[in-house]
A = this chain, B = another copy of it.
């Protein structure tokens, strides 16, 4: 078990540095990795922080390797933090399917066994990893949050539940109403139990419907050729709730794009510029 941060990789990237770390998470009870991009420290002494939450099956590597976000982040002076998507390891519960268990933490705190012991990704992100990056890297300034698919769900839920903390929220092809779609129903049943009253605080549509605090702007991009669009995502449902409430949410349908990182790479610069405006 590694109690301190262990630097696994360090690469110069554009005008900044891309790193990967391992540490022992006391919240999750296992070793975790995360990746961090820092802009040029001489130009940007106290960079704002943008969180990226990845989707099902991903680790902290997918966005880091494939999104091409470092160029714009280096230019705008943004730090980027990429956590893993679940607790990991031989001692951590898992499932034979890719949409539950390791790689599928859904950014919530599980209450049901065998998951409750390790699957506490909400607390890991909002509390433990936050403390680590504030302490170790001085990232104590403004923050925004974004994500993809399951990570879009995570960004919306964490952002809406912490509106005093995150200045803006964005998502690519997010699961906006997990309580009503197969991925969410399977995961919430396992992690949170069958009582659906306990699901609502992990559902962005439910959270937005009852939201009455600070209105943090939301940007969502959705590809029209995304194979999960109809059955799992349907971001219009969240846009309709926002519209009824006069909440500042922009949903952009992107013609011909799918669910892949090619879609994310095509629009990540615009998401970073969106966050930069609010940071």
Report A's interface with B, CB cutoff 8 A: 11-14, 18, 65-66, 68, 70-71, 223, 225, 256-258, 260-263, 265-266
A103 to B79, CA, bound (A): 35
- Selected from B13, B18, B71, B266, the residue in CB contact (under 8 A) with A13 is B266
Asked whether B68 lies within 8 Å of A265 as measured between CB atoms, the reply is yes
A261 to B61, CA, bound (A): 13
Q: Of B18, B66, B263, which is within 8 A of A65 by CB?
A: B66
CB-CB under 8 A from A12, the residues of chain B are 223, 225, 256-258, 262-263, 266
Stoichiometry, as copies per complex, reads: 2
The prevalent SS among residues of A at the interface is mixed
Instruction: Judge whether B262 and A18 touch: CB under 8 Å.
Output: yes
Among residues of B, the one whose C-beta sits closest to the C-beta of A223 is B12
B66 and A11: CB pair below 8 A?
no
Most buried by B among A66, A257, A262: A262
Shortest distance from the beta carbon of A68 to any chain B beta carbon, whole Å: 3
**Chain B residue nearest in CB terms to A9:** B260
Q: Which residues from chain B contact A68 at a C-beta distance below 8 Å?
A: 68, 71, 265
A195 to B90, CA, bound (A): 52
In the complex, the chain B residue whose C-beta lies closest to that of A37 is: B262
| A163 CB to nearest chain B CB (Å) | 33
